[in-house]
Amino acid sequence: MNATETKVSVSQLLRIAAGLWLGYLLVLAVIDWNITPPNRQFAYGYYVVNGLTALIILGLALWERGQEWLGRAFLPFLIILMTVLPTVSKYLLTPESLPGPIISVGAFTVLLLALVLTAWQYSWRHVAFFCLGTALLNLGILVLAVGPLTRPFFFELLGTAIQTISFVVVGYFINALITQLRIQQDTLEQANTQLAHYASTLEHLTISRERNRMARELHDTLAHTLSALTVQLETVKAYWDVDASAAQTMLDRSLDATRSGLQETRRALKSLRATPLDDLGLSLALSKMAKSAAHRANLTLDLAVSESIPSMSPDVEQGIYRVAQEAVANVTHHANAQNLKVHLTANGHGVSLLVQDDGRGFKPQPIDQTEHFGLAGMRERAQLAGGQLAIESQPGRGTTIRLTIKDVDA
């Protein structure tokens, strides 16, 4: 609770307390007037002083500039005002040396309001000081009013002791309750802050993952299409003057590949999901992709797709397909291979993908994701699909890529 909220709530409470106090004094005055014996003077001074005190508190509660002027002394000033004046007027502004029960109850009620304010806004140490201070003030004024070591003195002393004990008990419980509420409020604010921080972190992480996902989708669609088209057009250019018929055939294939890549890129940008999986399913889409790549690169294909592939979630199927697509694309563009093997098998423990070639291979080394996005993308997709990716390669001995996913769920 900040200072502004505290001031507003205290002001509201003081307005209510002052209004109740004025109403309470009016009721007490009416009762006291009706029960006062003819031979006893009515306590005009007591009701006037307490009424003026209540009006002062109400005025300060409504006067914002006065609150700003008093600053931190605003609430202590009002508590002292509510404590001293009712106690002094109870003994010194009544016709009798000892106040009647009506006036005693009224003074007790006002002191109780001051106690509530003290226990609400301050610590238990301040509550104890308030109880001790009111007791000493009560005793000091009592000595002036009736004198020490008299029967009325001991009678009022007993009442003061009972009042002090009551104030200590009530003040302790109010202060303990308020302290606990403040602790809970602080804990809740800390939890809200942590939750807001977590939500912000999650939002940034989600945005980052979505950007990476979009980058992978564009790499797996647009980049592959453009890379294959570049190779085919260079071949067409080489064959153009040597074998026009072969060049024309390659050009037609390039146009087909361009149209297919354009269509898949548009769908990827729209849904960011592998289009062939939507139309054919994993097995057929993987077979069609491998056959098409082998045909374009004049590779001998060893294709084996199990007929008992279990049903998997779309994200897992997409991960398997994209890893296979990236691995096959690497073979057709970089491996200079003669043979390509693509196997997708399933058993009781999960699904396994194997892509193998007999090309020139490479020497495995730490991957710079900014320069080898394809291999990094395969690793990311394997991780997102909950699988393990193994890449084995040696210069001149080809490359083997294995993706294993255990405990696949639909």
Give Cα 203 to chain centroid, integer Å.
11
Length of the chain equals 410
Rounded to an integer, what distance in angstroms lies between the CA atom of residue 410 and that of residue 396?
40
State which residues form the domain around 95. Answer: 3-196
Under DSSP, is residue 255 helix (H, G, I), strand (E, B) or coil? Answer: helix
Among the listed ranges 194-203, 204-213, 387-396, which one has the minimum average pLDDT value? 204-213
* Separation between Cα atoms, residue 95 and residue 86, nearest integer Å: 15
Confidence of residue 370 (pLDDT cuts 50, 70, 90): very low
* Same domain for 288 and 173: no
The residue out of 169, 196, 223 marking a domain boundary is 196
Please indicate, yes or no, whether residues 11 and 157 belong to a single structural domain of this protein.
yes
Supply the pLDDT for residue 6: 47
Q: Is the pLDDT confidence value at 136 over 90?
A: no
Supply the pLDDT for residue 373.
Answer: 53
- Confidence grade of residue 365 (pLDDT, cut at 50, 70, 90): low
Per-residue pLDDT at 356 exceeds 90 = yes
Question: Where residue 400 falls among pLDDT bands split at 50, 70, 90?
Answer: very high
Q: Are residues 179 and 62 part of one domain?
A: yes
Contact 269, 222 (CB under 8 A): no
Domain boundary among 172, 196, 220: 196
Residue 376 sits in a domain whose CATH number is 3.30.565.10
**272 lies in a domain?**
no
Angle at CA of residue 347, ends 341 and 352, nearest 5°: 35
pLDDT of residue 185: 86
**Tell me, what amino acid is at 301?**
L
**Domain annotation covers residue 287:** yes
Give the rounded percent of residues in the chain with a pLDDT score beyond 70. 80
Residue predicted with more confidence, 305 or 43: 305
Task: Single out the residue of 369, 267, 372, 276 nearest to residue 318, CA to CA.
Answer: 276
Contact 356, 338 (CB under 8 A): no
Let me know whether 170 and 311 are in one domain. Answer: no
Q: How many domains is the chain partitioned into structurally? A: 2
The β-bridge partners of 400 are: 356, 392
Is 155 part of any domain?
yes
Q: Poorest-confidence range of 8-22, 48-62, 110-124?
A: 8-22
Residues 174, 286 within the same domain: no
Does residue 204 lie in a domain region?
no
Cβ atoms within 10 Å of 98's Cβ, excluding its own: 17
Please, are residues 340 and 294 in contact by the beta-carbon 8 Å criterion? yes
- The pLDDT, as a whole number, for residue 99 is 59
User: What's the pLDDT at 379?
Assistant: 86
**Is 340's pLDDT higher than 90?**
yes
At 392 the three-state DSSP class reads strand
Q: Are residues 54 and 173 in the same domain?
A: yes
The answer on 17 and 153 residing in a single domain is yes
* End-to-end Cα, the chain, rounded Å: 50
Domain contains 259:
no
Examine the domain organization and report whether 183 and 305 are in the same domain: no
User: Do residues 135 and 11 both lie within one domain?
Assistant: yes
Structure tokens of 240? 């153009």
Residues 296 and 182 in one domain: no
Give the whole-number percent of the chain exceeding pLDDT 90.
9
Among 180, 196, 212, residue at a domain's last position:
196
Q: Is residue 127 part of a domain?
A: yes
Does any domain span residue 300?
Answer: yes
Structure tokens at 319: 């991960």
Per-residue confidence band for 5, with pLDDT thresholds at 50, 70 and 90: very low
Task: Tell me which of 119-123, 270-274, 373-377 is least confident.
Answer: 270-274
pLDDT in tens, 233-273: 787 787 787 777 777 887 887 777 777 777 766 656 655 55
How many CB atoms are located within 10 Å of the residue 39 CB?
Answer: 5
For residue 330, give the nearest of 227, 217, 189 by alpha carbon. 227
| Cα–Cα distances in angstroms (integers) from residue 218 to residues 2, 261, 264, 272, 385, in the given order | 51, 11, 10, 9, 19
185 and 52 share one domain? yes
Write out the two tokens for 323: 């890893």
Domain contains 24: yes
Residues 31 and 159 in one domain: yes
- 323: burial class by Cβ within 10 Å (0-12, 13-18, 19+)? buried
